[in-house]
Amino acid sequence: AQSVTQLGSHVSVSEGALVLLRCNYSSSVPPYLFWYVQYPNQGLQLLLKYTSAATLVKGINGFEAEFKKSETSFHLTKPSAHMSDAAEYFCAVSETGGSYIPTFGRGTSLIVHP
Amino acid sequence: GAGVSQSPRYKVAKRGQDVALRCDPISGHVSLFWYQQALGQGPEFLTYFQNEAQLDKSGLPSDRFFAERPEGSVSTLKIQRTQQEDSAVYLCASSFSAGDEQFFGPGTRLTVL
């Protein structure tokens, strides 16, 4: 069984500040991990994914995430927030060797204020 | 228009009506997924196709929900006798093959009155 917990339904940062969105997962087998971004009235867009290669994964728009097996975490970071980063962010896990059907977290709304 | 498209974008139905939601995946994508996203929640898996074969429908919440992909391309999600709890955004995603990046459509927002 697999599950995802995203801590904090809302995260508020100032423009230019560090962004940290937290994600913890559980999986009975080595996981694939994903971060998606959703802008209002749009579908989800993949930011980055971990598939058992490098533990530090770089994605689009300056985001990156680090897979920490010991902490079962896959937190998303960005050094400097832009106003355009305001959106809903979803962490997801799927199990290797399975059907690749992802389980999504409940999402974290990132608010960026001037 | 190389992305995943869904129609209609918005659908209002009276309780008890049947609805049909359409998904046009990216050309050549073998895998197609349907998700239900309730307000303030993440997407929840409904069903998965590989070409025309429905390989997993474990997420369909009741036998009122039915999905098909008869020619391995366009897919339709049908909900019979809609209930208020069916109100949600229904997302479709496609990928070149299972395990590859999924590309999502914009969703259909269903409101059942």
Structural contact between residues A37 and A47, judged by C-beta atoms closer than 8 angstroms: yes
- Beta strands in A1-114, from DSSP E residues, in sequence order: 2-5, 10-14, 19-21, 24-27, 31-38, 44-50, 56-58, 64-68, 73-78, 87-95, 103-104, 108-113
Is the CB of B102 less than 8 angstroms away from the CB of A101?
Answer: no
Q: In the prediction, which pLDDT does A106 show? A: 95
Is the pLDDT at A77 greater than 60, yes or no? Answer: yes
Which of A46, A92, A100 is facing B99, going by the closest CB pair? A100
Residue B11 bridge partners (DSSP): B110
Q: Which residues of A touch B42 (CB under 8 A)?
A: 4, 90, 92, 104-107
Interface size A-B, in CB pairs within 8 Å, comes to: 50
Q: What pLDDT sits at residue B7?
A: 97
**Three-state SS for B86?**
helix
Q: Tens digit of pLDDT for each residue in B25-46?
A: 999 999 999 999 999 899 999 9
pLDDT at residue A6, as a whole number = 96
Put simply, whether A31 touches B (Cβ < 8 Å) is no
Which one of B9, B58, B100, B104 would you mutate to disrupt binding with A, by most A Cβ within 10 Å of its Cβ? B104
Adjacent-strand bridge partners of B58:
none
Phi-psi region of A3 (alpha: psi -120 to 50; beta: other; left: phi over 0): beta
Other C-beta atoms lying within 10 Å of the C-beta of residue A14: 10
* B59 SS3 class: coil
Mean pLDDT (chain B) is 94
